Structure 1
Amino acid sequence: MKKYKFMNLNKLKIIFSERNVDSSSYSINQTCSENTYCANNSSGKWEVFYFKNREKNMLKIFASESEAGTYLYDLVFKDPSTRVKRNIKDIDALKERLNDLGVRESDYVLGFFWDDKFSIIKNEQNKWEVFFSERGNKNDLQVFDTEYEACEYFFNYITGFDFIMNDLKPKEEPKKKGLLGRLGFKCTNTE
């Protein structure tokens, strides 16, 4: 798995933006809001923490901006609630979004349990479960009342892993229709 190292936190802001992290879920060198991941330079040292109940939780202090950025990255991407909501209403929409993004179907299953996969299933109590299955266990199990909540969480959960995002399948070029299209000619309607 590729491990990111950041030269500066401005680069990290760009990565957060590209990976659909909600900008209100983190703060860099600014006043921290409630329920926000923060990185602040204080007296030449970098503090990284989660600000909740007016306290610095999970506080770590780093000598370099790069180390602080790597820790902030890990905190933010381990928390799927930091991603922008995508309005993924059901499993069919979830599958379409994952496919559009290029996530390989070999990495997940939708609707049933399969070992060594990211999974989303409806259980006997009509609740939705999201987890990673390994050796028959449901790791990182989260349970939701609605399919919508589970699908939103699943999308953010699976796309938060570097090994998934670093191994996206290449986008397919649209197929050109007809012999002229395959030869590179463009057809225009002249009506």
Structure 2
Amino acid sequence: MEVESRLRELGVPESVYIVGGERNETYCLVEEPDGWHVFYSERGNRNSERVFVSEPTASDELVRLVTNDGAIQQLIQTDTTAGRQRPGA
């Protein structure tokens, strides 16, 4: 999916999100019969779940959530300051 490429280009670790499934302690993007669900999975709960009609809109929301998460921002900054350059940078 394009959203995974976008997140990789931004330097977001794959361990903090999943597309097409659910994993504990991650941001998730899942297609279901009623639309595209975006949420944070924690202890089996779907926190801050939102449902979108289109995949591109849901993908934009996933990117927004992940890149605005302070803990993830620190991971990205630590990765780039440790000498590892983000792909495409």
TM-score (normalised: structure 1) = 0.41
Structure 2 unaligned blocks of 5 or more: none
Relative to structure 1, is the Cα distance of residues 136 and 165 closer, same or farther in structure 2, using a 3 angstrom cutoff?
A: same
2:52 to 132, 140, 144: 144
Moved over 6 A (4+): none
Secondary structure (helix, strand or coil) at the match of 1:166 reads helix
Aligned residues: 82
The whole-number CA distance in structure 1 between the counterparts of 2:11 and 2:85 is 7
Structure 1 unaligned blocks of 5 or more: 1-91, 175-191
Is residue 134 of structure 1 aligned with residue 42 of structure 2? yes
Bigger RCO (CA 8 Å, 6+ sep): 2
Identity level (%): 29
1:108 to 17, 29, 40: 17
Relative to structure 1, is the Cα distance of residues 100 and 172 closer, same or farther in structure 2, using a 3 angstrom cutoff?
A: closer
RMSD value over aligned CA atoms? 1.7
The whole-number CA distance in structure 2 between the counterparts of 1:172 and 1:114 is 25
CA contact (8 A) 2:8 2:87 kept: no
TM-score (normalised: structure 2) = 0.84
